Structure 1
């Protein structure tokens, strides 16, 4: 039996360039890249030397704080380079892929027969533990703690997001194996949220509590769902996993192989024919977008337009990303843009803007911020798009002046940077909300733990 979650506050940003539900194989990437920056708060330690051969699933590096947390290679091949920055900080690992892939055999497992410690040890050994993240702090889960619940959001509400119902077609066995295994790791429930009108693969699975979500973005954000289902209090921990990472965990259990394959959406108004592509974690951006983009100035983003990271053709697909978005670069200047009616942009206000008259219209937006960074202006607009029972302006300011007590009282344990993507989008002050929250969470993790 499902439980409904209805979100009223938020904002749907409808953009042109939604991916057609057709899947093709992307060009095989020659080099795959793993970046420690994708795993927040992790200090990497090398598991092997440059020039050594490795199989898919073999550890490339591990966490300095906990050597049991390993980060595997998505392909078999050779570790050809370790890129370092200032003070020899490791920035990236480059792996040259073999033509014929070989996998480490971790053994086939029956999740029903496994005990909690067996599941945990198996996921740690095979390198699947980084797929499990924890709240508070939005970092890789601490394997020594037991969460009060595990949350999976199978409803994507972000602009141009990949359709989970489509990309998970035929993956019921893998999903069932994964949720059965994860259910052993918590004394509470495995909560899965799907769209209210979706025909999700999760609907017929066991060992889960199903929730149907409706409402504007950020209704698909896992923080929004946690707040409605089982809010986090001080001293409590919950874990989160994305649906496509569940597939990798399930395939590991059923086949004994770490298969880093992803079905990603290549979307955006600067893409000639937006559609879905099969690729692997860490693949080069060039292998995904080559020959598929319009000949205009454009911004390539690994992730969605609100939370993703800008990439060039030499960049790589982010470890947790299942979409590459390409939109026009906002490098033009609009004369008197602040003093004339606006028809081609989205706005939450009705002052010389008309997007509220056309709620279903799709827009071709660029990256122009339409203004410069300035001091916070109190407008009350953040609360209109922020569904959590938290004061967004106050919590942002408490992060800026680093008042830990105030951050705790205002609900910092419940949030992640992505929850402030919409407030950042509509911010008239052009403040970097997600960066402010990330720094605040880092401070709390350091000082409070």
Structure 2
């Protein structure tokens, strides 16, 4: 009897040891599965950072859900006001009109309830009488022989974006742990949907701004053209007819003529300046809308720089500044839009003149590998280090905004950047305060296609 008890004791101890080992093994497997799931979630979430298209995100959501948890049918819906719209459906037959069932009042009521609560909704068995009476949509699911229904709300903070509906032909297809994992995954994807939504709003605002600038610029251009035209006509009539009939020996007449000439010249110079600003606004709005195309042809870059220097000579007539062309080598011809490149070089040389009170502006060009590099160097005031990173951004201007803000819209360099990049080149700046600036750009000798 004692031997039997001893044997049973050893048996019990053996069973306890085996059970303990099994429990430890199961726990290790659970930890391993949890770690694998976390890795899979992290790898999958990274996929969503590469797109800002909401429909694409919803479609990828269903594709990646299948990797985490099997389903027979999966549907994603986007909340639009008080309704829910179908964005993607996997496993459904093409002829099935899922959208019509989403318009069912009871279906809308259920989705609203789930998304508002922020919790998941799970039906283990759709064949139960309670559920078959709930919605006409359940009848459709039963025709597909579906038994389990799992609905996950897509929510980020307080923003409701929609829901995911998962269906399985098995009864009680998803356990509590699996449902928690899917809920966690969908919450992560909701962040990508939030980012895509914000990005779309920014694009819409940017488009509205571009359209507004284009409309206003066009509306301003017509009356401004008339103002400049009439001012030029007044100047010609005044100087050619009226002045000749006046007694300029009279001091009052002489002072009046000087004042009128000055005022007319101010109208014309300010009109020209405003015309340049409007042209910049129109250029940037057309560029943002993708309405500018390049007229590519073979051109001589040295000839263009010479032409610009000739055009800018009147600007430096009253300044202690020289513009020098320094090209020491024969340059290859490049494929470029002559007018657009002319616009870039005019802008860069004009800026150099604007910020250089005395000294010189040197224009150089050289061939480096497959590019021609053009540089405009000045001995002006220079650019602060913190301003360099934004210098080519729209509406960016250098100088104190209260006491020393330069004239202009801050669009010139942004336009230059766009034109150069459209040619397949780059533009950059090197500068030191009180020593000057060096603006350079590269243009490929043979344009990349």
Instruction: Give yes or no for TM over 0.5.
Output: no
Which protein is bigger by CA-based radius of gyration? 2
Q: Larger relative contact order (C-alpha < 8 A, sep ≥ 6)?
A: 1
Larger helix percent? 2
Q: TM-score range by the shorter chain?
A: under 0.3
